[in-house]
């Protein structure tokens, strides 16, 4: 038999594509071959951004192929419902031929396993019909996966209704050792009934994957792994410097600017690839950073502000800061000048911050970000939360005060460095995640 050949299918947003790209790099080091399926649109954006260097990849072991998402070039791909509907309508019918064409090119190394991320479970369905093994890469926390896996039980116990809405105010925990969770902050927070039903259906489809691979370590959230024997921690998956996808041009001047700043002096601010902020809140954040009177690096992705204007208040100076469209986040968080991370608490940002040993100021907006905040603040105790006032805003003075409180907390700094060491050990040779990955590859070879 030839080497294991994985067909990997991410949902086309950076928060799915990047972990699957990182996972592919790890599999290559294990002697596997990868065919990476992008939508035509996301592949073009990745190449155009310049952050993804095709020529740095081992073309003998990784190959990129594309399928159409069914949308026109001018369609708005920030509308995730529209994208998902079009993908599910158009892409599944094209996959069997793609698999056949790939196998015809290399009869000795046919596709032996399909790995999909959330919303691409149809790939596992097709693979199952063709007799190809399947696995599911979950790109958020294992705890949020545990809650999604438990949707039927939560409905059956009357904790949520059939639309995912809590039936009453309460806190719950799925197992004795998991943290208490306010049920208004469950991972599907902010989703409407259609989106919730799609999520519940997708969880059923994902059962076709024998393994649910988690970009986490046993040490970060041990109790979550008691929920299902399918859960397999293989992380943290850490981006290779050259092989990280970006949908926006990365600013190359940040690192030189950080080199000029004192150690642990810079507040880094970024809210990921999907968050949209209301103009009034954006202004409070800008003025809060000014009030700090300390250096800051602020990532303002195109589309961050929910209006077509520059959004900055007239009194904003920003003289101590650097404002950019996009960065290679792992490089930033690993830089010794970074003091803390104001974050939306998306899981990839959480993992990268923890791997950098950086304290967090948590500002979750939706979905699993509230679950992640509870771990950062209450379980690992490596960050503080920001709370809204009666007007639903986090005011500038509170932002300044919380940053200063965080920067003055030596216990949080010490715990952040200790947690970094703990989870990096899990992917070192002989570590828990490293052994799981080896067992997974051996399963794929059978």
Instruction: Report the distance separating Cα 112 and Cα 97, nearest Å.
Output: 16
Q: Are residues 126 and 271 in the same domain?
A: no
Please report the pLDDT score of residue 1 as a whole number.
56
- Answer yes or no: is 269 within a domain: yes
Nearest alpha-carbon partner for 97 in 16, 42, 33, 37: 37
Q: Dump pLDDT digits (tens) for 363-407.
A: 999 888 999 999 999 999 999 999 999 999 999 999 999 999 999
Helix, strand, or coil here: 122? Answer: helix
Q: What is the CATH number of the domain that holds 171?
A: 3.40.50.2000
For residue 106 the two structure tokens come to 């290399």
Q: Which residues of 21-38 are buried (b: 16+ CB within 10 A; e: fewer)?
A: bbbbbbbbeeebbbbbbb
Domain containing residue 127 = 5-243+426-445
Helix axes 279-292, 396-407, angle to 10 degrees: 50
- Answer yes or no: is 248 within a domain: no
Q: Are residues 95 and 142 in the same domain?
A: yes
Please report the pLDDT score of residue 289 as a whole number.
96
- Answer yes or no: is 23 within a domain: yes
- Answer yes or no: is 31 within a domain: yes
CB 330 within 8 A of CB 258: no
Please report the pLDDT score of residue 54 as a whole number.
46
Instruction: Report the distance separating Cα 147 and Cα 205, nearest Å.
Output: 16
Q: Dump pLDDT digits (tens) for 4-63.
A: 999 999 999 888 998 999 999 999 989 999 999 999 998 888 777 665 554 455 556 789
φ, ψ for residue 171, nearest 5 deg: -115, 145
- Answer yes or no: is 249 within a domain: no
- Answer yes or no: is 54 within a domain: yes
Q: Are residues 209 and 296 in the same domain?
A: no
Q: Are residues 170 and 306 in the same domain?
A: no
Please report the pLDDT score of residue 134 as a whole number.
97
Please report the pLDDT score of residue 67 as a whole number.
95
Q: Are residues 326 and 376 in the same domain?
A: yes
Q: Are residues 263 and 238 in the same domain?
A: no
User: Tokens 């990868």 label which residue?
Assistant: 34
Q: Are residues 299 and 409 in the same domain?
A: yes
Could you tell me what percent of the chain has a pLDDT over 70?
A: 94
- Answer yes or no: is 120 within a domain: yes
Q: What is the mean pLDDT of the chain?
A: 91
Please report the pLDDT score of residue 313 as a whole number.
84
Please report the pLDDT score of residue 52 as a whole number.
54
Entry pTM: 0.91
Q: What is the mean pLDDT of residues 90-107?
A: 95
Q: Dump pLDDT digits (tens) for 28-40.
A: 989 999 999 999 9
Please report the pLDDT score of residue 79 as a whole number.
87
């Amino acid at each position: 038999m030839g080497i294991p050949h994985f067909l990997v299918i991410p949902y086309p947003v950076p928060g799915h594509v990047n972990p699957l790209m990182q996972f592919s790099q790890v599999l290559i080091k294990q002697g596997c071959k990868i065919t990476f399926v992008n939508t035509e649109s996301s592949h073009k954006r990745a190449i155009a951004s310049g952050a993804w260097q095709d020529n740095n990849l081992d073309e003998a072991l990784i190959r990129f192929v594309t399928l159409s998402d069914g949308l026109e070039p001018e369609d708005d791909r920030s509308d995730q419902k529209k994208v998902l509907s079009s993908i599910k309508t158009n892409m599944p019918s094209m996959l069997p031929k793609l698999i056949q064409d790939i196998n015809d090119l290399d009869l000795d190394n046919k596709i032996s396993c399909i790995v999909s991320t959330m919303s691409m479970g149809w790939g596992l369905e097709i693979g199952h019909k063709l007799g190809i093994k399947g696995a599911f890469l979950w790109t958020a926390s294992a705890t949020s996966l545990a809650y999604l896996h438990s949707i039927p039980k939560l409905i059956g116990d009357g904790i949520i209704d059939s639309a995912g809405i809590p039936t009453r105010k309460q806190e719950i925990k799925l197992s004795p050792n998991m943290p208490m969770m306010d049920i208004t902050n469950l991972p599907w927070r902010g989703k409407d009934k259609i989106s919730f039903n799609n999520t519940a259906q997708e969880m059923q489809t994902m059962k076709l994957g024998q393994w649910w691979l988690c970009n986490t370590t046993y040490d970060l959230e041990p109790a979550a792994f008691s929920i299902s024997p399918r859960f397999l921690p293989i992380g943290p998956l850490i981006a290779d410097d050259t092989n990280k996808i970006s949908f926006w041009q990365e600013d190359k001047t940040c690192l030189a600017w950080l080199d000029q700043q004192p150690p642990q002096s810079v507040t880094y601010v970024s809210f990921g690839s999907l968050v949209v902020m209301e103009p009034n809140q954006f202004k409070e954040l800008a003025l809060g950073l000014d009030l700090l009177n300390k250096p800051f690096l602020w990532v303002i992705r195109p589309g961050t502000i929910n209006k077509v204007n520059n959004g900055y208040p007239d009194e904003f100076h920003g003289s101590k800061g650097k404002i950019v469209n996009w960065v290679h986040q792992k490089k930033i968080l690993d830089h010794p000048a970074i003091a803390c991370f104001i974050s939306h608490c998306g899981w990839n940002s959480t993992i990268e911050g923890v791997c950098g040993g950086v304290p967090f100021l948590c500002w979750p907006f939706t979905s699993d970000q509230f679950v992640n905040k509870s771990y950062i603040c209450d379980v690992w105790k490596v960050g503080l939360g920001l709370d809204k006032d009666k007007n639903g805003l986090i005011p500038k003075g509170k932002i300044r005060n919380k940053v200063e409180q965080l920067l003055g907390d030596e216990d949080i700094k010490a715990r952040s460095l200790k947690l970094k060491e703990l989870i990096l050990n899990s992917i070192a040779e002989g570590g828990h995640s490293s052994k799981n990955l080896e067992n997974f590859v051996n399963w794929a070879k059978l």
